Amino acid sequence: MLAGRHLVLGVTGGVAAYKAVYLARRLIEEGVEVRAVMTPTAQNFVGEATFAAVTGTQPIIELFGHDDVSPHTSLARWADAVVIAPATASTISKLAAGESSNALIATVLATTAPVFVAPAMHSEMWEHPATRANISRLTDFGYTIVPPQSGSLAGGDEGIGRLADPEDILKMVRSIFDGGDLAGSTVLITAGGTREPIDPVRYIGNRSSGKMGNALATAAHARGAQVILVTAAPPPGNLPGIEVIAVDTAAEMAEATWGRVDIADIAVMAAAVADFRPADVATGKLRRTDGSPELLLEPTPDILRGITKRDNRPYLVGFAAEVGSLDAAVEKARTKGVDLLVGNDISIDGSGFGSDSNQIALIYPDGTTKHHPLLPKRQVADVIWDAVVEQRAST
Protein backbone atom coordinates (compact mmCIF):
# COMPACT_ATOMS: atom_id res chain seq x y z
CA MET A 1 0.00 0.00 0.00
CA LEU A 2 1.22 3.49 -0.86
CA ALA A 3 -1.16 5.35 1.44
CA GLY A 4 0.72 7.20 4.14
CA ARG A 5 4.12 6.83 2.46
CA HIS A 6 6.58 9.71 2.08
CA LEU A 7 8.10 10.21 -1.37
CA VAL A 8 10.66 12.69 -2.65
CA LEU A 9 10.07 13.48 -6.31
CA GLY A 10 13.19 14.71 -8.07
CA VAL A 11 12.58 16.79 -11.20
CA THR A 12 15.42 17.66 -13.56
CA GLY A 13 15.84 19.93 -16.56
CA GLY A 14 14.23 18.06 -19.44
CA VAL A 15 11.17 18.60 -21.61
CA ALA A 16 9.49 15.64 -19.92
CA ALA A 17 9.43 17.57 -16.61
CA TYR A 18 5.78 18.39 -17.26
CA LYS A 19 4.95 14.67 -16.85
CA ALA A 20 6.32 14.81 -13.30
CA VAL A 21 3.37 17.04 -12.40
CA TYR A 22 0.95 14.29 -13.42
CA LEU A 23 3.05 11.71 -11.57
CA ALA A 24 2.90 13.85 -8.42
CA ARG A 25 -0.87 14.10 -8.75
CA ARG A 26 -1.26 10.34 -9.20
CA LEU A 27 0.93 9.63 -6.17
CA ILE A 28 -1.14 12.00 -4.05
CA GLU A 29 -4.33 10.31 -5.27
CA GLU A 30 -2.90 7.06 -3.86
CA GLY A 31 -2.42 8.69 -0.47
CA VAL A 32 1.30 9.46 -0.78
CA GLU A 33 2.77 12.59 0.77
CA VAL A 34 5.00 14.09 -1.93
CA ARG A 35 7.75 16.67 -1.63
CA ALA A 36 9.46 17.88 -4.79
CA VAL A 37 13.13 18.65 -5.23
CA MET A 38 13.92 20.49 -8.46
CA THR A 39 17.23 21.13 -10.12
CA PRO A 40 17.69 24.80 -11.08
CA THR A 41 17.40 23.93 -14.81
CA ALA A 42 14.07 22.16 -14.22
CA GLN A 43 12.51 25.61 -13.73
CA ASN A 44 13.10 26.25 -17.44
CA PHE A 45 10.45 23.64 -18.18
CA VAL A 46 7.96 23.78 -15.29
CA GLY A 47 7.51 26.32 -12.52
CA GLU A 48 8.03 25.68 -8.83
CA ALA A 49 4.58 27.17 -8.16
CA THR A 50 3.04 24.27 -10.07
CA PHE A 51 4.59 21.66 -7.78
CA ALA A 52 3.78 23.78 -4.73
CA ALA A 53 0.12 23.82 -5.75
CA VAL A 54 -0.03 20.10 -6.55
CA THR A 55 1.90 18.80 -3.52
CA GLY A 56 0.95 21.44 -0.96
CA THR A 57 4.58 22.13 -0.08
CA GLN A 58 7.17 24.43 -1.57
CA PRO A 59 9.72 22.56 -3.70
CA ILE A 60 13.36 22.51 -2.61
CA ILE A 61 15.61 23.99 -5.29
CA GLU A 62 18.65 25.30 -3.41
CA LEU A 63 20.50 23.95 -0.39
CA PHE A 64 20.61 27.35 1.28
CA GLY A 65 18.12 30.03 2.30
CA HIS A 66 15.71 27.75 4.19
CA ASP A 67 14.59 27.62 7.79
CA ASP A 68 15.95 24.06 7.75
CA VAL A 69 19.73 24.35 7.84
CA SER A 70 20.12 20.93 6.19
CA PRO A 71 17.12 20.35 3.89
CA HIS A 72 18.75 17.48 2.00
CA THR A 73 19.44 15.36 5.07
CA SER A 74 15.98 16.10 6.49
CA LEU A 75 14.36 14.99 3.24
CA ALA A 76 16.64 11.97 3.02
CA ARG A 77 15.52 10.76 6.46
CA TRP A 78 11.86 11.61 5.78
CA ALA A 79 11.65 9.73 2.48
CA ASP A 80 10.33 6.19 2.12
CA ALA A 81 11.42 6.37 -1.51
CA VAL A 82 13.02 8.80 -3.96
CA VAL A 83 11.85 8.98 -7.59
CA ILE A 84 13.76 11.04 -10.17
CA ALA A 85 11.55 11.64 -13.20
CA PRO A 86 12.72 12.78 -15.60
CA ALA A 87 16.40 12.01 -15.05
CA THR A 88 18.55 13.77 -17.62
CA ALA A 89 21.93 12.51 -18.83
CA SER A 90 23.54 15.26 -16.75
CA THR A 91 21.80 14.22 -13.55
CA ILE A 92 22.56 10.54 -14.19
CA SER A 93 26.23 11.43 -14.64
CA LYS A 94 26.27 13.36 -11.37
CA LEU A 95 24.52 10.54 -9.54
CA ALA A 96 27.04 8.02 -10.86
CA ALA A 97 29.94 10.23 -9.77
CA GLY A 98 28.40 11.17 -6.42
CA GLU A 99 28.70 14.83 -7.33
CA SER A 100 26.47 16.57 -4.79
CA SER A 101 26.34 19.90 -6.62
CA ASN A 102 22.62 20.46 -6.15
CA ALA A 103 19.89 19.71 -3.62
CA LEU A 104 18.58 16.68 -5.50
CA ILE A 105 21.89 14.83 -5.75
CA ALA A 106 22.70 15.70 -2.14
CA THR A 107 19.35 14.25 -1.03
CA VAL A 108 19.96 11.01 -2.93
CA LEU A 109 23.45 10.65 -1.47
CA ALA A 110 22.08 11.14 2.04
CA THR A 111 19.16 8.69 1.86
CA THR A 112 18.97 4.97 2.56
CA ALA A 113 15.50 4.72 0.96
CA PRO A 114 14.91 2.96 -2.38
CA VAL A 115 15.82 5.19 -5.34
CA PHE A 116 14.04 5.03 -8.71
CA VAL A 117 15.63 6.68 -11.74
CA ALA A 118 13.51 7.28 -14.86
CA PRO A 119 15.78 8.53 -17.66
CA ALA A 120 14.58 10.80 -20.45
CA MET A 121 16.82 12.09 -23.25
CA HIS A 122 17.50 11.83 -26.97
CA SER A 123 18.35 8.39 -28.35
CA GLU A 124 21.95 9.30 -29.10
CA MET A 125 22.49 10.46 -25.53
CA TRP A 126 20.81 7.36 -24.08
CA GLU A 127 22.91 5.06 -26.26
CA HIS A 128 26.21 6.87 -25.65
CA PRO A 129 28.79 4.66 -23.87
CA ALA A 130 29.13 7.21 -21.07
CA THR A 131 25.41 7.07 -20.30
CA ARG A 132 25.38 3.28 -20.54
CA ALA A 133 28.29 3.09 -18.09
CA ASN A 134 26.59 5.53 -15.72
CA ILE A 135 23.34 3.54 -15.79
CA SER A 136 25.29 0.37 -15.05
CA ARG A 137 26.92 2.10 -12.08
CA LEU A 138 23.55 3.25 -10.72
CA THR A 139 22.29 -0.32 -11.01
CA ASP A 140 25.33 -1.44 -9.02
CA PHE A 141 24.35 1.10 -6.36
CA GLY A 142 21.04 -0.74 -6.07
CA TYR A 143 18.95 1.98 -7.73
CA THR A 144 15.96 0.83 -9.77
CA ILE A 145 16.11 2.06 -13.37
CA VAL A 146 12.73 2.67 -14.98
CA PRO A 147 13.75 2.23 -18.64
CA PRO A 148 12.82 4.86 -21.21
CA GLN A 149 10.37 4.06 -23.99
CA SER A 150 10.53 4.46 -27.75
CA GLY A 151 8.41 7.16 -29.34
CA SER A 152 8.35 10.81 -30.33
CA LEU A 153 11.14 12.89 -28.83
CA ALA A 154 11.76 16.62 -28.49
CA GLY A 155 12.93 18.04 -31.79
CA GLY A 156 10.54 15.94 -33.84
CA ASP A 157 12.61 12.76 -34.12
CA GLU A 158 11.69 9.22 -33.08
CA GLY A 159 13.57 6.68 -31.00
CA ILE A 160 14.28 5.35 -27.53
CA GLY A 161 14.67 7.90 -24.77
CA ARG A 162 11.10 8.93 -24.04
CA LEU A 163 10.25 9.07 -20.33
CA ALA A 164 8.43 5.97 -19.13
CA ASP A 165 4.70 6.42 -18.74
CA PRO A 166 3.97 7.87 -15.29
CA GLU A 167 1.59 4.97 -14.66
CA ASP A 168 4.48 2.54 -15.24
CA ILE A 169 6.66 4.51 -12.82
CA LEU A 170 3.84 4.43 -10.28
CA LYS A 171 3.49 0.67 -10.78
CA MET A 172 7.20 0.09 -10.04
CA VAL A 173 7.06 2.25 -6.92
CA ARG A 174 3.91 0.46 -5.77
CA SER A 175 5.62 -2.92 -6.20
CA ILE A 176 8.22 -2.03 -3.56
CA PHE A 177 5.62 -1.34 -0.89
CA ASP A 178 3.04 -3.93 -1.96
CA GLY A 179 5.70 -6.62 -1.70
CA GLY A 180 5.96 -7.25 -5.45
CA ASP A 181 5.00 -10.27 -7.52
CA LEU A 182 7.97 -12.27 -6.19
CA ALA A 183 7.22 -11.54 -2.54
CA GLY A 184 7.50 -14.66 -0.42
CA SER A 185 9.78 -16.39 -2.94
CA THR A 186 13.41 -17.32 -2.46
CA VAL A 187 15.38 -16.93 -5.67
CA LEU A 188 18.78 -18.53 -6.32
CA ILE A 189 20.83 -16.97 -9.14
CA THR A 190 24.26 -17.85 -10.50
CA ALA A 191 26.29 -15.18 -12.28
CA GLY A 192 29.63 -14.48 -13.89
CA GLY A 193 32.21 -16.64 -15.62
CA THR A 194 34.05 -19.27 -13.59
CA ARG A 195 37.86 -19.38 -13.58
CA GLU A 196 39.60 -22.77 -13.66
CA PRO A 197 43.25 -22.48 -12.53
CA ILE A 198 46.14 -23.69 -14.68
CA ASP A 199 48.73 -22.56 -12.16
CA PRO A 200 48.70 -19.96 -9.33
CA VAL A 201 48.73 -17.17 -11.94
CA ARG A 202 46.74 -18.32 -14.98
CA TYR A 203 43.29 -19.74 -15.53
CA ILE A 204 40.83 -20.94 -18.17
CA GLY A 205 37.82 -18.65 -18.26
CA ASN A 206 35.40 -16.79 -20.48
CA ARG A 207 34.22 -13.26 -21.21
CA SER A 208 31.17 -13.24 -18.94
CA SER A 209 30.98 -10.06 -16.84
CA GLY A 210 28.14 -11.18 -14.55
CA LYS A 211 26.06 -8.13 -15.51
CA MET A 212 23.02 -10.18 -16.56
CA GLY A 213 23.02 -12.18 -13.34
CA ASN A 214 23.43 -9.00 -11.30
CA ALA A 215 20.52 -7.38 -13.15
CA LEU A 216 18.38 -10.44 -12.44
CA ALA A 217 19.29 -10.31 -8.75
CA THR A 218 18.57 -6.60 -8.47
CA ALA A 219 15.24 -6.95 -10.30
CA ALA A 220 14.16 -9.94 -8.20
CA HIS A 221 14.99 -8.02 -5.02
CA ALA A 222 12.96 -5.04 -6.27
CA ARG A 223 10.02 -7.39 -6.88
CA GLY A 224 10.05 -8.63 -3.31
CA ALA A 225 12.11 -11.82 -3.45
CA GLN A 226 14.74 -13.02 -1.03
CA VAL A 227 17.75 -13.42 -3.29
CA ILE A 228 20.79 -15.69 -3.09
CA LEU A 229 23.44 -14.71 -5.63
CA VAL A 230 26.25 -17.20 -6.26
CA THR A 231 28.69 -15.20 -8.33
CA ALA A 232 32.13 -15.35 -9.89
CA ALA A 233 31.88 -11.64 -10.76
CA PRO A 234 31.62 -8.36 -8.83
CA PRO A 235 28.16 -8.33 -7.21
CA PRO A 236 25.61 -5.50 -7.39
CA GLY A 237 25.37 -2.89 -4.65
CA ASN A 238 24.98 -3.98 -1.03
CA LEU A 239 21.23 -4.55 -0.89
CA PRO A 240 19.34 -6.00 2.07
CA GLY A 241 17.76 -9.26 0.97
CA ILE A 242 20.59 -10.28 -1.36
CA GLU A 243 22.91 -12.94 0.05
CA VAL A 244 26.09 -12.86 -2.02
CA ILE A 245 28.29 -15.97 -2.19
CA ALA A 246 31.56 -15.30 -4.01
CA VAL A 247 33.15 -18.21 -5.89
CA ASP A 248 35.86 -18.72 -8.48
CA THR A 249 35.65 -22.20 -9.96
CA ALA A 250 32.85 -24.36 -11.33
CA ALA A 251 33.32 -26.77 -8.42
CA GLU A 252 32.92 -23.95 -5.90
CA MET A 253 29.84 -22.67 -7.73
CA ALA A 254 28.35 -26.17 -7.81
CA GLU A 255 28.92 -26.67 -4.09
CA ALA A 256 27.40 -23.30 -3.18
CA THR A 257 24.46 -23.72 -5.57
CA TRP A 258 23.60 -27.29 -4.62
CA GLY A 259 23.93 -26.35 -0.96
CA ARG A 260 21.26 -23.62 -1.28
CA VAL A 261 18.93 -24.97 -3.97
CA ASP A 262 16.70 -26.89 -1.57
CA ILE A 263 15.47 -23.64 0.00
CA ALA A 264 14.86 -21.93 -3.36
CA ASP A 265 11.51 -21.58 -5.09
CA ILE A 266 13.16 -20.39 -8.31
CA ALA A 267 16.68 -21.07 -9.60
CA VAL A 268 18.17 -19.06 -12.46
CA MET A 269 21.42 -20.38 -13.91
CA ALA A 270 22.77 -17.23 -15.58
CA ALA A 271 26.47 -17.99 -14.98
CA ALA A 272 28.79 -18.91 -17.84
CA VAL A 273 30.28 -22.01 -16.23
CA ALA A 274 33.47 -23.46 -17.73
CA ASP A 275 32.74 -26.91 -19.20
CA PHE A 276 36.32 -28.12 -18.66
CA ARG A 277 39.18 -27.57 -16.23
CA PRO A 278 42.83 -28.64 -16.12
CA ALA A 279 43.09 -32.11 -14.61
CA ASP A 280 46.40 -31.23 -12.94
CA VAL A 281 47.00 -27.72 -11.60
CA ALA A 282 50.64 -26.69 -11.42
CA THR A 283 51.75 -25.72 -7.93
CA GLY A 284 54.27 -23.20 -9.26
CA LYS A 285 54.11 -20.66 -12.06
CA LEU A 286 54.58 -22.19 -15.51
CA ARG A 287 57.40 -20.43 -17.34
CA ARG A 288 57.99 -19.85 -21.03
CA THR A 289 61.54 -21.11 -20.71
CA ASP A 290 60.21 -24.54 -19.72
CA GLY A 291 58.43 -24.89 -23.06
CA SER A 292 54.74 -25.12 -23.95
CA PRO A 293 52.79 -27.08 -21.34
CA GLU A 294 50.38 -29.81 -22.31
CA LEU A 295 47.03 -29.36 -20.64
CA LEU A 296 44.85 -32.37 -20.00
CA LEU A 297 41.27 -31.20 -19.46
CA GLU A 298 38.48 -32.90 -17.54
CA PRO A 299 34.75 -32.01 -17.30
CA THR A 300 33.55 -29.67 -14.57
CA PRO A 301 30.43 -30.45 -12.54
CA ASP A 302 27.18 -29.97 -14.49
CA ILE A 303 25.41 -27.61 -12.11
CA LEU A 304 22.15 -27.51 -14.06
CA ARG A 305 21.92 -31.30 -14.31
CA GLY A 306 22.60 -31.59 -10.60
CA ILE A 307 19.46 -29.55 -9.98
CA THR A 308 17.22 -31.31 -12.51
CA LYS A 309 17.96 -34.67 -10.85
CA ARG A 310 16.47 -33.55 -7.54
CA ASP A 311 13.01 -34.83 -6.64
CA ASN A 312 11.71 -31.47 -5.44
CA ARG A 313 13.66 -29.10 -7.62
CA PRO A 314 12.67 -25.42 -7.89
CA TYR A 315 11.28 -23.73 -10.98
CA LEU A 316 14.36 -23.70 -13.19
CA VAL A 317 15.63 -21.16 -15.71
CA GLY A 318 18.65 -21.96 -17.86
CA PHE A 319 20.77 -19.77 -20.14
CA ALA A 320 22.34 -20.59 -23.48
CA ALA A 321 24.82 -18.26 -25.17
CA GLU A 322 25.10 -19.19 -28.84
CA VAL A 323 26.85 -17.79 -31.91
CA GLY A 324 24.99 -17.14 -35.15
CA SER A 325 21.90 -19.25 -34.48
CA LEU A 326 19.63 -20.25 -31.59
CA ASP A 327 18.87 -23.70 -33.01
CA ALA A 328 21.07 -25.35 -30.37
CA ALA A 329 19.33 -23.34 -27.66
CA VAL A 330 15.93 -24.63 -28.78
CA GLU A 331 17.27 -28.19 -28.54
CA LYS A 332 18.64 -27.48 -25.07
CA ALA A 333 15.23 -26.22 -23.97
CA ARG A 334 13.75 -29.57 -25.05
CA THR A 335 16.37 -31.78 -23.39
CA LYS A 336 17.86 -29.97 -20.38
CA GLY A 337 14.85 -30.33 -18.09
CA VAL A 338 14.37 -26.61 -17.54
CA ASP A 339 11.07 -24.76 -17.27
CA LEU A 340 12.39 -21.84 -19.32
CA LEU A 341 15.56 -21.27 -21.32
CA VAL A 342 16.97 -17.84 -22.15
CA GLY A 343 18.90 -17.90 -25.40
CA ASN A 344 21.02 -15.13 -26.81
CA ASP A 345 23.27 -14.80 -29.84
CA ILE A 346 26.47 -13.16 -28.58
CA SER A 347 27.54 -12.33 -32.13
CA ILE A 348 24.86 -9.62 -32.30
CA ASP A 349 26.35 -6.17 -31.83
CA GLY A 350 25.65 -4.86 -28.32
CA SER A 351 24.42 -8.20 -27.00
CA GLY A 352 26.01 -10.75 -24.71
CA PHE A 353 29.20 -10.87 -22.67
CA GLY A 354 30.39 -7.60 -21.16
CA SER A 355 27.70 -5.44 -22.75
CA ASP A 356 25.08 -3.41 -20.92
CA SER A 357 22.32 -4.71 -23.19
CA ASN A 358 21.08 -8.05 -24.42
CA GLN A 359 18.86 -9.45 -27.17
CA ILE A 360 17.20 -12.60 -25.93
CA ALA A 361 14.72 -15.27 -26.91
CA LEU A 362 12.59 -17.00 -24.28
CA ILE A 363 12.39 -20.68 -25.22
CA TYR A 364 9.97 -23.13 -23.60
CA PRO A 365 10.35 -26.93 -23.40
CA ASP A 366 7.79 -27.44 -26.18
CA GLY A 367 9.89 -25.31 -28.52
CA THR A 368 7.75 -22.18 -28.29
CA THR A 369 10.07 -19.23 -28.74
CA LYS A 370 9.42 -15.56 -27.96
CA HIS A 371 11.99 -13.13 -29.36
CA HIS A 372 12.69 -9.78 -27.74
CA PRO A 373 14.55 -6.73 -29.09
CA LEU A 374 17.88 -5.43 -27.86
CA LEU A 375 17.23 -3.94 -24.41
CA PRO A 376 19.25 -2.78 -21.39
CA LYS A 377 20.03 -5.79 -19.19
CA ARG A 378 18.01 -4.42 -16.29
CA GLN A 379 14.99 -4.29 -18.60
CA VAL A 380 15.80 -7.77 -19.93
CA ALA A 381 15.76 -8.98 -16.33
CA ASP A 382 12.19 -7.75 -15.92
CA VAL A 383 11.19 -9.41 -19.20
CA ILE A 384 12.51 -12.72 -17.80
CA TRP A 385 10.84 -12.27 -14.42
CA ASP A 386 7.55 -11.35 -16.09
CA ALA A 387 7.70 -14.65 -18.00
CA VAL A 388 8.59 -16.61 -14.87
CA VAL A 389 5.73 -15.09 -12.86
CA GLU A 390 3.26 -15.68 -15.68
CA GLN A 391 4.30 -19.30 -16.23
CA ARG A 392 4.32 -20.17 -12.52
CA ALA A 393 0.85 -18.65 -12.11
CA SER A 394 -0.52 -20.80 -14.94
CA THR A 395 0.70 -24.13 -13.52
- Catalytic-labelled residue, pool 44, 102, 206, 214: 206
Do residues 217 and 77 share a domain?
Answer: no
pLDDT tens figures, 315-326: 999 999 888 889
Do residues 29 and 113 share a domain?
Answer: yes
Do residues 24 and 148 share a domain?
Answer: yes
Q: CA 80 to CA 1: how far, in whole Å? A: 12
Is pTM beyond 0.75 here?
A: no
Domains: count for the chain: 2
**Count of beta carbons in the 10 Å neighbourhood of residue 130:** 12
Model confidence at 281: pLDDT above 70:
yes
Do residues 147 and 20 share a domain?
Answer: yes
Model confidence at 66: pLDDT above 80:
no
C-alpha dihedral over 348, 354, 360, 363, to 10 degrees? Answer: 120
Identify the DSSP state of 244: E
Within its chain, how far is the Cα of 164 from the centroid? Answer: 16
Q: CA 254 to CA 202: how far, in whole Å? A: 21
Do residues 124 and 228 share a domain?
Answer: no
Could you give the percent of the chain with pLDDT greater than 70? Answer: 98
Whether the CB-CB separation of 206 and 353 falls below 8 Å is answered with yes
Do residues 219 and 95 share a domain?
Answer: no
Establish whether 206 is a catalytic residue. yes
Do residues 172 and 222 share a domain?
Answer: no
Helical (H) or strand (E) element with 12: none
Comparing 127-141, 178-192, 236-250, the range with the smallest average pLDDT is 236-250
Q: CA 292 to CA 290: how far, in whole Å? A: 7
Identify the DSSP state of 52: H
Final residue in a domain of this structure, among 178, 213, 242: 178
Final residue in a domain of this structure, among 127, 158, 178: 178
Q: CA 320 to CA 340: how far, in whole Å? A: 11
CATH number where 344 lies = 3.40.50.10300
pLDDT tens figures, 67-117: 788 999 999 999 999 999 999 999 999 999 999 889 999 999 999 998 999
Do residues 286 and 309 share a domain?
Answer: yes
Model confidence at 168: pLDDT above 80:
yes
Domain of 24, in residue numbers:
6-178
Do residues 233 and 112 share a domain?
Answer: no
pLDDT at 376: 84
CATH number where 173 lies = 3.40.50.1950
